[in-house]
A and B are shown apart, each in its own frame.
Chain A
Amino acid sequence: MPAPIRLRELIRTIRTARTQAEEREMIQKECAAIRSSFREEDNTYRCRNVAKLLYMHMLGYPAHFGQLECLKLIASQKFTDKRIGYLGAMLLLDERQDVHLLMTNCIKNDLNHSTQYVQGLALCTLGCMGSSEMCRDLAGEVEKLLKTSNSYLRKKAALCAVHVIRKVPELMEMFLPATKNLLNEKNHGVLHTSVVLLTEMCERSPDMLAHFRKVSLVPQLVRILKNLIMSGYSPEHDVSGISDPFLQVRILRLLRILGRNDDDSSEAMNDILAQVATNTETSKNVGNAILYETVLTIMDIKSESGLRVLAINILGRFLLNNDKNIRYVALTSLLKTVQTDHNAVQRHRSTIVDCLKDLDVSIKRRAMELSFALVNGNNVRGMMKELLYFLDSCEPEFKADCASGIFLAAEKYAPSKRWHIDTIMRVLTTAGSYVRDDAVPNLIQLITNSVEMHAYTVQRLYKAILGDYSQQPLVQVASWCIGEYGDLLVSGQCEEEEPIQVYRLLATVSSGVCDSGDVLLFVFLSFHFPCSRIKKVVSIYGSSIDVELQQRAVEYNALFKKYDHMRPALLERMPVMEKVTTNGPTEIVQTNGETETAVLETKPPHSGLQPGSQANDLLDLLGGNDITPVIPTAPTSKPASAGGELLDLLGDLNLTGSPVSAPAPQISQPPFLPDILKSATFLLSTGIPSITAYNKNGLKIDFSFERSNTNPSVTVITIQASNSTELDMTDFVFQAAVPKTFQLQLLSPSSSVIPAFNSGTITQVIKVLNPQKQQLRMRIKLTYNHKGSAMQDLAEVNNFPPQSWQ
C-alpha cells in the first residue's frame, strides 16, 4: 500500500477542483484511503492522516470516524502525534460523545509530563473542551499546577481553572488558597489570567466576592493599574502607545464587580477611574476600548456624581467619533444609563437625534430607541418633528416600532389635543400600513373625547383621504369620523364641500378599498341628506359578491324603506368612550344596554375579543347585524321615577292570581334593561294586527306589535298618537304600567307635540318582557295641554291580540 499523500499535497489537489462535485469526489476518495489506513493500525502515518482529516473537517465534511484515532495519537509518545491528537480532540470531540472520557487518563499523565509544552497541550485541551466529569477528575492536578513557579504553566492553569469552575461551580473553593499570591506575579500573562480567574469567582459566588473585598483586593488592583499607566514604554505589551490594554480592561472589569453596591470599594477606586478617564489617549481604537470599559465601571459602581457626568460626557464624545463601532457602543451604553442619569443624557440629545440620520441600520435603531427614552414634556414638539421625519425616511422594518413609539410619546406628552390629532394623522398618512392594529380604535377613542376638535378632525381626515386612500387604517378612521360627524363636515363649519362631493369621494374610495365600513357611511350621510342617489348606491351593494357587504346593504335598505322613523334614534352620536390605557387591550364600551343613569358604565370586554379585531368590532357596533336602538340620555319619561304614580294606577287593576293588596308593582329596574336590549332584535313584523288602544277627545293612540325571534318573551310595541282636533296638543306625556309578572321599558318619544288635523304623529316604543306568557294588560295615563288647559286621562288597554303575548 503506497504511503498516504502528504497534507500539503492534499490541500493543493483539493484547491484545483473547479466545481463542488469535483471537490466532493476528491474528498470521498481520500476519506476512503484514510479509513483503510486507520483499519491497518498504521502508527507511522496516523498523524498525517488525522491532519488531512482535520482539513477536510474544516471544509465541512464529516470526520467523526477519526475520533478514536485522535485518542490514539494523544496516547502516543511522540510530540508530533500529541500535538495533532490534541488538536483533533478539540475540533472533533465534545462532551456529547462518550468517547471523550477515554482521554481523561492521557491528560492526567500529560499534566505531569516532564516537558512543559506537553503539559501545556494538556492544560489547553482541558480548558477548552473538558466536560464536567473530566473536570471533576482532573481539578486536583490543575490546582497543583496553579501553584507552580513556572509562569508558562501557571497562566494556562489559571484559565483551565476558570473552565473547571464554569463546568463544576462547586469546585470553586478548591482554588481559593492558590489565589493568594497570584497577583504578586510580575509576568503579565499570569497577572491577566489571574484577574480572569478572580473575576469568574466573584461573579459566581457572593461569598467569594465578600471574601475578596475583605482581603483588600481593590487596593492591590488599583496599584497594579496605576503602575501600568505610569510605567514607561514596554515594547512587549504595548499597543499604540498604551501599555497592556488587555490587562487594564480586565482589571477595570474586576473593579466593577467589586465596587458594585459597595461604598467602600467604590470609594477606593474613584481616583484611579478618574485618572484613567482623563489621561487615556483617544486617537486609536485601543484607547477608546479602555475608556469604554472605564465608563461601564463608573456607571455600575457607587461613584460620585462628578465622575458619572464625566462618564456620560465621554459617551457623548464617542457619539461624535467617525468610527461607527464607537458610535454604536456609545448608543448602547447610553440606552442602559438613560433611566438613572436622565438629565446628563439629555444634554447630548441633539447628537443622538443626529444619529437618526446615520447610514448604518444598527445605529439608527439604537438612536431611535434612545430618542424615545429622551422625550419629555419640554422637548416633545422638537423631538416629534425629528421622529416624524425619521418615520418618513427610515427602512420598513423600523416603521412599526417607530409609529408605536410616536403614539405612546404623543399620548403621554401631547401639549394640546389639536397637536395630538395632527401628529397621529401625520403618522397615519406617512406610515399607515405599518401601524399596529390597536392604533385605529385608540385614535377613534381619542377623537370622540375631544369634542371641540370634531369639526377640525373630520375636515383634515376628509382632505387626507381625498389625496390618497391606499392606507387602510387612515381610511378606517376617516370613514368612521365622516360617518359620525359628517354633518359638521358639510354644514356650516366647513368651507365648500357639498354632500354630493363627499358622496362622490366615498364612492371612489369604496370602489377601491371596499369594506362594509364605507357602506355605513352612506347610511349616516343619508340621515342628514336623504338622497335617492345614496339609497341607490346602497341597494347596488345589495347584490354584491361579498356576503357581509350584501347583508349590510340589505339591512340598510330595509332601514330606509320601512323604518325611516327609527333613523333619528338609531343614528344618534356615539357616546363619549371611556378613557383606556394604551398598553392594555382596549375596552370598547358597549353602547347598547346603557341605563339612563350611567351612560359611561364600562362593560367588561367580551372574552376572546382580540385587539386586532377591535377595529372591525367598532365598525360592527356602528352597523351591527342587529340594529339596536341607542337610548339617548335623560329621556323625558322615566319609568323608575314614575313609581309613585304607577302605584296609584295599578291600585285597582285586577291582577289574576295575586292578592289585590299586592306589593309595589313591577317597576322596570335598571339592571334588567341590558338583557332586554341585548336580546331585542327587530324582525319584519310577522303580521300581528295593530290595535287602537285609546280614542277619546280627538286623541287616538294606536299600538303596533313586533316579537323578537331570539327572545320570545319580548314584545315590542310602537305607539302612534294622532290628533284629529283643530288645535295642537302640547306637552304630551304617555305613561304605562303593567302587572307584576311583566316588565316594561319605555323609550323616549319622538316629540311632545301632536299636531292638529292628523297632520303628524308622535311615536314611542314600549318594550314588554313577558316571561310567563300571561295575557298582556296595560294601564295608560295621558297628560297633555289642549286649548289652553291641562288634560289628563287614565285608560286600560285590554284588547291586545293573542299573538302579541303568546
Chain B
Amino acid sequence: VCSCSLSCFCLYFPRYASLYFCCAIEDQDNELLTLEVVHRYVELLDRYFGNVCELDIIFNFEKAYFILDEFIIGGEVQDTSKRSAVKAIEDSDMLQETVEEYMNKPAF
C-alpha cells in the first residue's frame, strides 16, 4: 500500500494482484480500517461473481457499481454483513425485466 496526502484527503492504494484501488479519505478516518473496507468490497465482488477476475469487472462494470452502492452510501459503510449486500443485488437482478418483457428485444 502506498499513500500520499493532499490538503484534506489521503489517498490509499491497496493492490490486489493486478487490480489497483484508489481511496480518498478524510483526516479523521481510520486509515487501517480503510484497508479493511476495500478488502470487504473485494470479498463482496468475489461472492457475487464467483472467483472474481478483472474481466468480470470490465464487462459488468454496472454491476460493480450496484454492489458498491449496496455497501457504501455517501462515503459511509451501510452494512457490515457479507451476506446482505449480495442478497440485495441478487434480488434486484430478479426484478429486472425479462427478455420477453422487452418485446423480444434484449435489455442491454
Contacts and interface: CB of A to CB of B under 8 A. Distances in A.
A325 B32 contact: yes
Contacts of B88: 117, 120, 152
Closest CB pairs A-B (n = 9): A48-B108, A289-B32, A189-B79, A159-B73, A289-B33, A163-B74, A127-B74, A127-B73, A79-B95
A286 B103 CA distance: 50
B20 interface: no
A239 B36 contact: yes
Given A236-B82, A292-B32, A193 B76 contact: yes
Interface of B: 1, 3, 28, 30-33, 35-37, 40, 58-59, 61-62, 65-66, 69, 73-74, 76-84, 88, 91-92, 95-97, 101-103, 105-108
Interface in A142-180: 152, 155-156, 159-160, 162-163, 166
Contact of A329 (B31, B58, B83): B31
Nearest to A80: B96
A214 interface: no
Interface in A163-209: 163, 166, 188-189, 192-193, 196
Given A11-B59, A47-B108, A325-B35, A80 B80 contact: no
A44 B37 contact: no
Contacts of A329: 31-32
Given A8-B59, A236-B82, A326 B108 contact: no
Interface in A284-333: 285-286, 288-289, 292-293, 296, 325-326, 328-329
B58 A246 contact: no
Contact of A48 (B65, B91, B107): B107
A247 interface: yes
B80 A160 contact: no
A325 B95 contact: no
A662 interface: no
A237 B81 contact: yes
Contact of B30 (A48, A193, A293, A328): A293
13 contacts: A44-B105, A78-B101, A80-B96, A83-B92, A84-B108, A87-B69, A128-B74, A152-B84, A245-B33, A245-B36, A246-B77, A325-B35, A329-B31
A12 B1 CA distance: 31
A571 B107 CA distance: 95
A55 interface: yes
A189 B33 contact: no
Contacts of A124: 69, 73
B94 to A, nearest CB: 9
A54 B108 CA distance: 13
Given A44-B102, A193-B76, A246-B77, 13 more contacts: A8-B59, A44-B103, A44-B105, A54-B61, A55-B61, A78-B97, A79-B95, A83-B96, A123-B73, A152-B84, A253-B28, A293-B33, A328-B31
Nearest to B101: A78
Nearest to B108: A48
A87 B74 contact: no
Given A84-B108, A292-B30, A159 B78 contact: yes
A7 B61 CA distance: 10
A80 B106 contact: no
Nearest to B103: A44
A84 B62 contact: yes
A115 B96 CA distance: 12
Contacts of B103: 44
Interface residues of A, number: 63
B108 A362 contact: no
A750 to B, nearest CB: 66
- Most chain B C-beta atoms within 10 Å of own C-beta, residue among A47, A115, A236, A246: A246
A249 interface: yes
Contacts of B84: 152, 189
Contact of B78 (A12, A156, A166, A239): A156
- Most chain A C-beta atoms within 10 Å of own C-beta, residue among B73, B102, B105: B73
A189 B80 contact: yes
Nearest to A84: B62
Interface string A233-264: 00011010000111101000100000000000
A88 to B, nearest CB: 10
Interface in A113-134: 115, 117, 120, 123-124, 127-128
Contacts of B77: 192, 246
A773 interface: no
B35 A246 contact: no
Given A84-B108, A124-B73, A288 B32 contact: yes
A335 to B, nearest CB: 13
Contacts of A160: 73-74
Contacts of A246: 33, 36-37, 40, 77, 80
B82 to A, nearest CB: 6
A356 to B, nearest CB: 19
B61 to A, nearest CB: 6
A58 interface: yes
Interface string A1-31: 0010011100110010000000000000000
Nearest to A188: B80
B73 A328 contact: no
B73 A362 contact: no
A34 interface: no
Contact of B65 (A45, A87, A162, A285): A87
Contacts of A509: none
B78 A155 contact: yes
Contacts of B83: 236
B107 A47 contact: yes
A269 interface: no
A717 interface: no
Nearest to B69: A124
Contacts of A163: 73-74
A217 B33 CA distance: 24
Given A80-B107, A83-B66, A239-B40, A285 B35 contact: yes
Contacts of A87: 62, 65-66, 69
A51 interface: yes
A51 B32 contact: no
Nearest to B92: A117
Contacts of A15: 58
Nearest to B102: A44
A87 B36 CA distance: 25
Contacts of B107: 47-48, 80
Contacts of A45: 105, 108
Nearest to B60: A8
Contact of B106 (A6, A58, A285): A6
A687 to B, nearest CB: 70
A283 to B, nearest CB: 14
A329 B91 CA distance: 40
A91 to B, nearest CB: 8
A79 B96 contact: yes
A293 B34 CA distance: 12
Contacts of B95: 79, 115, 117
B36 A236 contact: no
B91 A117 contact: yes
B36 A286 contact: yes
